[in-house]
Amino acid sequence: MVDPVFLRVLGICGALFLLTALAILTARQMRGCIRLYAGQSFLLAVLAALVGFLTGSAHLYLVAALTLLVKTLLIPYLLGWVIHDTILEKREIEFVVNIPGSLFISGLLAALAFFASKAVVFPGDVLTKLLLPLGTAVTLIGLYVMVSRKEAVPQVTGLLVAENGVLLAAVPTAFGLPLIAEFGLFFDLLVGALLMGVLVMRVHRQTESTAVHELCQLKE
């Protein structure tokens, strides 16, 4: 039997985790997107640690520590280091879909995630029932961020947010992941974020913009 107090704390952290994904949809400044991702990653570390405490899984303590180190600290630092301040301080003016429309679509995606997740949760599995819909919803919202923003930095952030959602969905369902797989996952993510930051700078040097539609100029 799971302590109701812990369930309440998990619910609050999970709600904040979802709200940060929605906040990224409304963020206009590039640096704000990265900061919101760092805050969401911190909440993910807290959720992993709480589930580790409830299940007695030492693996999840490691996941929480790696999430705190890699996602909350290293990746935002590396993106801020690689990407020039003039880009990070830029305000995004144009969207593929405006903010109210994006929030409406994200609400539909979250509802779809909560509805679809019920079919794969075992009766009585309280942790999966709580966290799997949240992880699925954040994954879908992260993917939507990628297709609804024109600038490269928010699109990179959307990919990282989607990965956060996948990890949260995996926490209550696959907390016995081998240590070598966990280290490999976070190392690949760290290298991938660094390469994406370098790619953003290369695009900016070639086109003097980070808008994705400007990439067609690279063909010339």
- Write the DSSP assignment of 76-125 as a string of letters: HHHHHHHS-HHHHTPBP--BSS-HHHHHHHHHHHHHHHHHHHGGGSPTT-
- Please give the DSSP secondary-structure letter assigned to residue 189: H
pLDDT value at 155 more than 90: no
Interatomic CA distance for residues 138 and 172, integer angstroms: 15
Q: Minimal CA–CA distance to 139: which of 38, 17, 48, 46?
A: 17
> Which one is predicted more confidently, 127 or 163?
163
Confidence (pLDDT) at 90 = 67
Q: First-to-last CA distance in the chain? A: 64
Confidence (pLDDT) at 137 = 92
How far is the CA of 125 from the CAs of 27, 55, 116, 133, in angstroms?
35, 12, 16, 13
Question: Any idea where the domains of the chain sit in the sequence?
Answer: 4-219
- Please give the DSSP secondary-structure letter assigned to residue 209: S
Interatomic CA distance for residues 132 and 89, integer angstroms: 35
pLDDT value at 217 more than 60: no
Max CA distance (Å), the chain: 64
Prediction pTM value: 0.82
Interatomic CA distance for residues 149 and 136, integer angstroms: 20
**Cβ–Cβ contacts within 10 Å for residue 75, how many?**
24
- Among 22-26, 165-169, 188-192, 216-220, which is the least confidently predicted range? 216-220
